[in-house]
Structure 1
Amino acid sequence: MGEHAKGLEEAPHYYGHRERLRARFRDAGADALADYELLELLLFRSIPRRDVKPLAKALIEKFGSFSEVITASPERLSEVSELSDNVITELMAIHAAAQRLTRGQVKRRPVLSSWSSVIDYCHTAMAFADKEQFRILFLDKRNQLIADEVQQTGTVDHTPVYPREVVKRALELSATAIILVHNHPSGDPTPSQADIQMTRQIAEVAKSLGIALHDHIIVGKEGHASFKGLRLI
Structure 2
Amino acid sequence: MPRPAAVEDISAQPELWTARPAPARDTSGPPPHYVGHRDRLRERATAGGLAALPDYEVLELVLFRAIPRGDVKPLAKQLLARFGSLGGVLGATPEELRTVKGVGEAVALDLKLLHEAALRMGREQVARRPVISSWSALLAYVKTALAHEAREQFRVLFLDKKNQLIADEVMNRGTVDHAPVYPREVVRRALELSASAVILVHNHPSGDPSPSSADVDMTRQVVDAARPLRVAVHDHLVVARDGVASCRALGLM
Cross-structure match for 2:69: 49
Cross-structure match for 1:5: none
Give the one of 11, 22, 42 matched to 2:42: 22
C-alpha deviation, 1:35, in angstroms:
1.3
Cross-structure match for 2:85: 65
Separation in 1 of the partners of 2:126 and 2:35?
Answer: 40
C-alpha deviation, 1:13, in angstroms:
5.3
C-alpha deviation, 1:17, in angstroms:
1.4
Cross-structure match for 1:172: 192
The code of the aligned residue for 1:72 comes to A
1:5-31 CA-to-partner distances (Å, cap 9, x unmatched) read xxxx99975352112222222232333
1:55-111 CA-to-partner distances (Å, cap 9, x unmatched) read 101111111111111110111111123111111111111111110111110111111
Cross-structure match for 1:3: none
C-alpha deviation, 1:207, in angstroms:
1.2
Cross-structure match for 1:103: 123
Cross-structure match for 1:219: 239
Q: Please give the residue correspondences for 1:70-81 in structure 2 after superposition, counting only pairs within 5 Å.
A: 70-81=90-101
Cross-structure match for 1:193: 213
The code of the aligned residue for 1:227 comes to C
> How many residues align structurally?
225
Give secondary structure in 1 for the equivalent of 2:138: helix
Give secondary structure in 1 for the equivalent of 2:101: coil
TM-score, scaled relative to structure 1: 0.93
Deviates more, 1:21-30 or 1:185-194: 21-30
Separation in 2 of the partners of 1:25 and 1:180?
Answer: 40
Separation in 1 of the partners of 2:197 and 2:47?
Answer: 45
Give secondary structure in 1 for the equivalent of 2:82: helix
What fraction of aligned residue pairs are identical, expressed as a percent? Answer: 59
Separation in 2 of the partners of 1:11 and 1:113?
Answer: 56
Separation in 1 of the partners of 2:51 and 2:35?
Answer: 22
Q: How large is the Cα RMSD of the aligned pairs?
A: 1.6
The code of the aligned residue for 1:86 comes to A
Give the one of 211, 218, 230 matched to 1:210: 230
The answer for unaligned runs of 5 or more in structure 1 is 1-8
TM-score, scaled relative to structure 2: 0.85
The answer for unaligned runs of 5 or more in structure 2 is 1-28
More helix by share: 1
The code of the aligned residue for 1:117 comes to A
The code of the aligned residue for 2:38 comes to R
Runs of 4 or more above 3 Å deviation = 9-15
Q: Does 1:91 align with 2:111?
A: yes
